[in-house]
Amino acid sequence: MYNDRAALLGAVKENGTALQFATAKFRADTKVVRTAVKQNGMALQFAEDSFKGELDVVMMAVANNGMALQFASEALRDKDECVKAAVAQCPGAIEFASARLQEHPTKVDDEGWWPSASDAASVELFVRLCTIS
């Protein structure tokens, strides 16, 4: 466990998912969390829950890795702006959007980000491509 803020900041700057080894105090530290999700959007899963509902933090996470949308609050998974950013980075992220946005793909694909949310084979392919490291 990281107890030292400076050491943790250095660690998450290099690998955002190091946030998982932080104490609860640092998982709730704005600078630590923002540094972590900027480096690796998937670090959002280790942040204190309140950050998962903060638009600027989630936007930073999905800009880095669209699949981080799965860790966003329910409200942000229903926010057009947030889902568009996630899907622009990784089209497979559409599977984590709200049912409303999945049922009405034109809300997401107005600018060509997603051809058809009802095409299960494409969703599966994009998910696999986005999760390959």
Counting the structural domains of the chain, the total is 1
pTM of structure = 0.79
Do residues 47 and 31 make contact, with C-beta atoms less than 8 angstroms apart? no
Three-state DSSP state, 22:
strand
| Closest among 68, 66, 67, 82 to 33, alpha carbons compared | 68
Three-state DSSP state, 2:
strand
State which residues form the domain around 99: 5-131
Taking 90 as the threshold, does the pLDDT of residue 125 lie above it?
no
Q: What is the mean pLDDT of the chain?
A: 85
Taking 70 as the threshold, does the pLDDT of residue 120 lie above it?
no
pLDDT tens for each residue of 25-53:
999 999 999 999 999 999 999 999 999 99
Half-sphere exposure of 9 (CA within 13 A, CB side): 8
pLDDT tens for each residue of 57-110:
999 999 999 999 999 999 999 999 999 999 989 989 999 999 988 876 555 555
Bridge partners of residue 22, in order along the sequence:
2
